[in-house]
Amino acid sequence: MRRLWGRLSSVNVQKAVWGLEELGLPYERVEAGGAHGRVRDPDYLALNPNGLVPVLEEDGFVLWESNAILRHLAETHGRGGLWPQEPQARAHVNQWLDWQATAFTPAMRDAFWQTVRVPEAERDPAVIARSVAETEACAAILDAHLAGRAFAVGDHFTAADIALGCPAHRWLHLAVPRQPRPALEAWYARIAARPAAATVLLTPIT
């Protein structure tokens, strides 16, 4: 029995769901977080003391942190595909998973929160502008890396494309001014066309 806890509008839950869908693994998703609540309930905190989503349960095995879940799924079920066999390629997948978690998504957080969840009259333009500038710097790095590449690592779709693709989806659909990033946008269109991506990338940004 495989269960994933978390609301699909969460960018972190999206990574786990996309991984499960790409691998064709059966799972049950339980709504949690945001308006669904549950994350402060004692039974949920017993699974994840941080009170965050997602959480993966597999026959008594419990794992939290979205990139840890994505790594686990890819390494266990996606060897040679989502998780490359070649050690240096795997190292680069890990590099981009870490960069997404420590740079790309954190840079975007305030721009997302202010433009999506804060009423317009209460928004802070300076906070938005700072977050947009920080995210633009990350987008420039990713765009330069993707120039001449079909995917983030090597010649095939990997877990790195999932980890980067979910925040890229959010960034490209925020109501903020953005610089054109041809390589990033072409890569995003390519990965968004994958059947497994529809489950997460058609979800409204909320």
Last residue within a domain, chosen from 53, 77, 101: 77
Per-residue pLDDT of the chain (206 residues; tens, 9 = 90+): 899 999 999 999 999 999 999 999 999 999 999 999 999 999 999 999 999 999 999 999 999 999 999 999 999 998 889 999 999 999 999 999 999 999 999 999 999 999 999 999 999 999 999 999 999 999 999 999 999 999 999 999 999 999 999 999 999 999 999 999 999 999 999 999 999 999 898 777 77
Question: Are 109 and 53 in a shared domain?
Answer: no
Q: Which residues share a beta bridge with 98?
A: none
Phi, psi of 30 (to 5 degrees): -110, 125
Last residue within a domain, chosen from 29, 59, 77: 77
Instruction: Kindly list the strands in the beta sheet with 2-5, ordered across the sheet, starting from the edge strand earlier in the chain.
Output: 28-30, 2-5, 55-58, 61-64
Distance between CA atoms of residues 176 and 47, nearest Å:
37
- Does some domain include residue 47? yes
Question: Are 121 and 38 in a shared domain?
Answer: no
| Residues 200, 14 contacting (CB under 8 angstroms) | yes
| b/e per residue 163-173 (b: at least 16 CB within 10 A) | bbbbbbbbbee
Question: Are 110 and 193 in a shared domain?
Answer: yes
What residues have CB less than 8 Å from 206, skipping those under 6 apart? 9, 34, 116, 117
Question: Are 37 and 119 in a shared domain?
Answer: no
Domain that holds residue 103: 87-197
Last residue within a domain, chosen from 22, 52, 77: 77
Total structural domains within the chain: 2
Question: Are 110 and 25 in a shared domain?
Answer: no
Question: Are 45 and 111 in a shared domain?
Answer: no
| Residues 11, 166 contacting (CB under 8 angstroms) | yes
Phi, psi of 55 (to 5 degrees): -135, 135
CA distances to 118, 129, 167, 173, 178 from 143, rounded to whole Å, are 29, 20, 14, 16, 13
Question: Are 12 and 50 in a shared domain?
Answer: yes
pTM for the model: 0.96
